[in-house]
Structure 1
Amino acid sequence: MAPSTLSIRPALRADIPMLLDLYEHLIPGDERPSLDEAAKVLERFLCYDGSAIFLGETDGLLVSSCALVVVPNLTRGARPYGLVENVVTHRDYRQRGFGKEILDAASDAAWDAGCYKIMLMTGSKKPDTQAFYLRAGFEQSKTGFQKRCIPVREES
């Protein structure tokens, strides 16, 4: 069987239902917004120039995604920086390189938007997850802190 190829593109409003389905593979049982609420969030999200939710499709299915937010910045010569969040691959399609491909697409978009760096954080303590981000070209060179109003999700 030939390896599947991943087609990557930015999310559109019509993609919201299947994107919300895919997020079930990121945070099982997470509270799901209404379609109207999700559409409003996507609209606000896209107000940040260069930002996108990238979708990876293969075999006619949405199997991978990540969000890139390009944040305006007054340091580094006023070059923006990128934040990557909600990196997910459908559990039946993992270990095929799709996660790295979606992160590469987000990285390329960040560089095209003039970002001087891209950051992501993971709450996972799993060595496989951390190794995945290292293989995708990210380095563990900063210390992250967070303040939350909802509890940290349990790892499964």
Structure 2
Amino acid sequence: MNFRKATINDVPAIVNLLADDELGSQRERNETPLPQSYYEAFEAIEAQTGNQIILAIDGDSVIGCLQLTMIPGLARQGMKRAQIEGVRVAQNYRGKKVGEALFQEAIAIAKSEKCGMVQLTTDKKRQDAHRFYDRLGFIASHEGMKLLL
């Protein structure tokens, strides 16, 4: 398994991963051709400094992904934080430490960017993900809230 930064050619594989679970299947449009909105979003991610999608690769296959965004801030004495979103591992690779290795890669990048914290949000319905994040040392220290627009 290797890791690399996603390119626009990876967008279909990423959307396939995002759509391949109970919640994602309701949120995503994994169809051919993909809606242009996915490509536009990827281009916006690429244009923003400190924002990237990291892929786990096995051979030529994308087997996992996450989005990693560096967020400068004034709080906590000007600490920079890393935000992790959109974490997915292909179903036939779950339970094989792919997610753990992907997080280790993201945390190493965050450290190299001088981040003092890595944070994430997770849907309350994703109990397996909560156990995974707990095992990695994440602490549910805050209550997340969202307002859909």
TM-score (norm 2): 0.84
Which residue in 2 is equivalent to 1:89?
89
How many angstroms apart in 1 are the aligned matches of 2:131 and 2:4? Answer: 26
TM superposition shift of 1:47 = 3.2
1:32 maps to which of 29, 33, 55: 29
The answer to whether structure 1 residue 132 and structure 2 residue 132 are counterparts is yes
Aligned equivalents of 2:43 and 2:58: distance in 1?
25
Identity, in percent, stands at: 24
Mind listing any 5+ residue stretches in structure 1 that lack a counterpart? 1-5, 150-156
Aligned equivalents of 1:43, 1:125: Cα separation in 2: 30
Following TM superposition, by how much is the alpha carbon of 1:7 offset from its aligned partner in structure 2, in angstroms? 0.8
Find the aligned partners of 1:37 and 1:69 in 2 and give their Cα distance: 20
Any stretches of 5+ residues in structure 2 without a counterpart?
A: none
Q: 1:61-94 CA distances to partner (integer Å, 9 max, x unpaired)?
A: 1111111111121233433211111111111110
Distance 1:147 1:77 in 2: 28
1:18 is matched with 13
Look up the equivalent residue of 1:120 and give its one-letter code.
L
Q: After superposition, where does 1:1-156 map in structure 2 within 5 Å?
A: 6-26=1-21, 27-32=24-29, 34=34, 36-149=36-149
How many correspondences in the alignment? 144
